[in-house]
Amino acid sequence: MKYEIYRSKGYREIMSNYHVGSLLAKTMDFFGWNSEEITEFLCEPKCVDVSADLTLIRIKKRLLLAQQMKEKVFVFGDYDADGICATTMMVKILKQLEIECGYYIPNRLDEGYGLNIERTKQAIEKGYSLIITVDNGVKATQSLEFAKMSGIDVIVTDHHIIENEVEAYALLHPFFLPKELKGLCGAGCVLQIAKILDLELPSYLVLAMVATVGDMMELKGENRWIVREGLKFLKSGNYPNFALLLNEKVENANEEAVGFQIVPKLNAVGRLADRANANSVVQFLLSSNQSEMARFAQEVSLLNQVRRELTKEHIQQIDNSNLSKSFAVVCNESFHPGIVGLVANNLCNEIGVPVMVVTMHNGHCVGSIRGVGGIDIIECLNPIKDHFLSYGGHALAAGISFEKEKLASIINHLENYPYIRAEIEQACILVNDEDMTVDNLTGLFAKGPYGQGLALPLYYYQTPKIISYNYLKKENYLKWKFAEIDGLWFSNTNSYKDFVGDDSLNFIGKVRTNYFRDMLSYVLQLESIEK
């Protein structure tokens, strides 16, 4: 990895004008923000008023009609963290309105994504007169047409790309909402319904926060308010169900803990659909029974451990030396279809080229592709889209399915595709001991949350004063103690003896918070060291 060192020139002016510490000032200068953007960032995020939105008013009227007419309402969700949280939120809304409701999340492996005709028919047969989709629906053309022909209203709440006209009673989609709401996830859309109905928001904000972090939505506009407020409510004990999924005290939780401890456990249930049912997660999130909550939290944590072990086992079966240096393809019929995306992502990060991992499920090939900077996966697949039973995704990730006889042709296309690889040079901010103080770090994290679209950059910590140097459990688990921050490096190539006595090192990494015995400290999680 090459590093470009950013030497901030305008940070002193930012410090003076906005009364912030040097570390925050250098970070904002690095982002290249103008005065309006800086002011917006430093202000408390705000909730967007949606009381005049015509779509939400229409949805509100339809729900109140369902309440008045004692209709049965069916919620159709999705199996990832966003879909699970959105389903839970919609069911909570209906229960608060005392509307009889049911919900269903499809089996990822056998049913796939989105509202399907079979489940639509079943809902109608069971007497549901209103269907609400969450985190899906814009691609369910046939199901929506069938519902309309059957005289059933469908409210679609979704944030995925709209490719065709959506035939529904109402379509709630960020594309049609104010600019501050353009980046909402599925659960973020449902939150707007809770707002238009004037419901108490704390529990809804916690669910929307988990979903926003889990779906890696940009922390701009209302998303920043959702995550900031959702974390506050989570930490104050507003959603004990989620607290049981954390590996630390809930009052110490931040967006990183949510992303690495809660979200993978929710996603594991959908990925391992042959061993678990995503609908049970909704039941868990709706429950207030302490023993039931504790039992499920333990079960889902064990399932996530199975997911991690399966991923590790699959990766260990791959011989990297035999992989193509242009586009690596791994085919193994024993791989679990719900894990191939994780394997592809891990392998892509390790070898630095695009990766496709394929397995067999229900008689045909299913796989996942992960890309690297400078290569658009969907653009790459478009010339052979007739090869696929299904495919979709975005520039850096795609899911695919196809008949086995197409495999050789697909591999040939991928390995010979004329990629334009961009040389990636990682930028990092030059900092020193005066920047890396507890006061400066506290000021930086006080303006969080940070995440997708607002991620803290790498910092190039130039020749800091080293108080002590040691290693942890292994000689390549290295720890430096600087004046007011620690440096940690879990190296694959270097050991303790490589840096003994060297006080002229430069450290490159990301800052994060750390709690030990309820004491807060700051850590520079190292990515590289330069002598």
Token code pair at residue 206: 């916690």
Cα dist. 297→193, 257, 280, 447, 485 in Å? 28, 16, 11, 31, 34
For residues 130 and 100, give the distance between their C-alpha atoms in angstroms, rounded to a whole number: 11
280 found inside a domain = no
Which pTM was predicted? 0.92
Q: SS3 letters for 425-467? A: EEEEEEECCCCCCHHHHHHHHHCCCCECCECCCEEEECCCCCC
**Between the CA atoms of 230, 236, 238 and 243, what dihedral angle is there, to the nearest 10 degrees?**
90
Q: Is the pLDDT of residue 422 over 80?
A: no
Is there a contact between 306 and 274 (Cβ–Cβ < 8 Å)?
Answer: no
Asked if residue 140 lies in contact with residue 129, where contact means CB atoms within 8 angstroms, the answer is: no
- 143-156 per-position pLDDT tens digit: 999 999 999 999 99
Residue 469 belongs to a domain: yes
61 and 168 inside one domain: yes
| 154 and 225 inside one domain | yes
Rounded Cα distance between 199 and 387, Å, is: 48
Helix axes 11-18, 22-31, angle to 10 degrees: 120
pLDDT in tens, 103-143: 999 999 888 889 999 999 999 999 999 999 999 999 999 99
158 φ/ψ angles, rounded to the nearest 5 degrees: -155, 160
| Final residue before a domain boundary, out of 416, 445, 473 | 416
Identify whether residues 30 and 81 lie together within a single domain: no
Q: Is 446 left (phi over 0), alpha (psi -120 to 50) or beta?
A: alpha
CB 462 within 8 A of CB 506: yes
Q: Is the pLDDT of residue 394 over 80?
A: no
Query: Domain holding 351: CATH number?
Result: 3.10.310.30
Cβ-contact 388, 368 below 8 angstroms: no
Owner of token pair 């004329």: 418
Residue 315, domain member (yes or no): no
* CATH number of the domain that residue 230 is part of: 3.90.1640.30
> What pLDDT is stored for residue 33 in this prediction?
96
Any domain includes 438:
yes
SS3 202: helix
100 and 189 both lie in a single domain: yes
Token pair 């909730």 is at which residue? 47
19: containing domain: 2-42+425-530
Q: Does position 287 have pLDDT exceeding 80, yes or no?
A: yes
Q: Are residues 233 and 109 in the same domain?
A: yes
Whether 472 and 525 map to the same domain: the answer is yes
- Mean pLDDT (the chain) is 94
Domain identity same for 396 and 516: no
The span from the CA of 17 to the CA of 157, in Å, is 43
Do 224 and 341 lie in one domain? The reply is no
Q: In this predicted model, what pLDDT tens digit does every residue of 49-88 receive, in sequence order?
A: 999 999 999 999 999 999 999 999 999 999 999 999 999 9
In a domain, residue 141? The reply is yes
Q: Is 197 buried (19+), middle (13-18) or exposed (0-12) by CB count in 10 A?
A: middle
What tokens appear for 3 in the block?
């590093």
Query: Average of pLDDT values for 179-190?
Result: 97
CATH code for the domain of 436? 2.40.50.460
Residue 305 lies in a domain: no
Q: Are residues 345 and 483 in the same domain?
A: no
CA atoms within 13 A on the CB side of 395: 5
pLDDT over 70 (residue 1): no
Among residues of the chain, what percentage have pLDDT more than 70?
Answer: 99
Taking alpha carbons only, the member of 173, 176, 133, 174 closest to residue 155 is 133
343/477 same-domain check: no
**CB half-sphere exposure, 327, CA atoms < 13 A:** 23
Q: Evaluate whether 50 touches 462 at the Cβ level (below 8 Å).
A: no
Q: What are residue 429's DSSP bridge partners?
A: 6, 459
HSE-up (13 A, CA, CB side) for residue 158: 25
- Say yes or no: 68 and 216 in one domain: yes
Percent share of the chain, pLDDT over 90: 83
Cis link prior to 449 (omega < 30° from 0)? yes
Helices of type H across 126-221: 141-149, 186-196, 202-214
Residues facing residue 423 across a β-bridge: none
pLDDT at residue 485 in the model: 97
Question: How buried is residue 148: exposed, middle or buried, by Cβ count under 10 Å (0-12/13-18/19+)?
Answer: middle
Q: Say yes or no to pLDDT of 232 above 70.
A: yes
Residue 292 forms part of a structural domain: no
Query: SS3 string of 239-297?
Result: CHHHHCCCCCCHHHCCHHHHHHHHHHHHHHHHHCCCCCCHHHHHHHHHCCCHHHHHHHH
| Half-sphere exposure for 502 (CA within 13 Å, toward CB) | 12
**Predicted local confidence at residue 375, as pLDDT:** 78
Q: Which of 237, 252, 273 is the last residue of a domain?
A: 237
CB 284 within 8 A of CB 296: yes
Q: Quick count: other Cβ atoms within 10 Å of Cβ 70?
A: 9
Residue 263 lies in a domain: no
Alpha-carbon distance of 365 to 245, in angstroms, equals 34
In the predicted model, is pLDDT for residue 484 greater than 80? yes
Strands 153-157 and 130-134: parallel
- The reply to whether 407 and 448 lie within a common domain is no
Q: Where among 170, 202, 237 does a domain terminate?
A: 237
Tokens for 416? 């010979």
Domain tally, the chain = 3
Contact assessment for residue 71 and residue 99, using Cβ atoms and an 8 Å cutoff: yes
Position 321 confidence tier, pLDDT thresholds 50, 70, 90: confident
Using CB atoms within 10 Å of the CB of residue 267, give its burial: 0 to 12 exposed, 13 to 18 middle, 19+ buried: buried
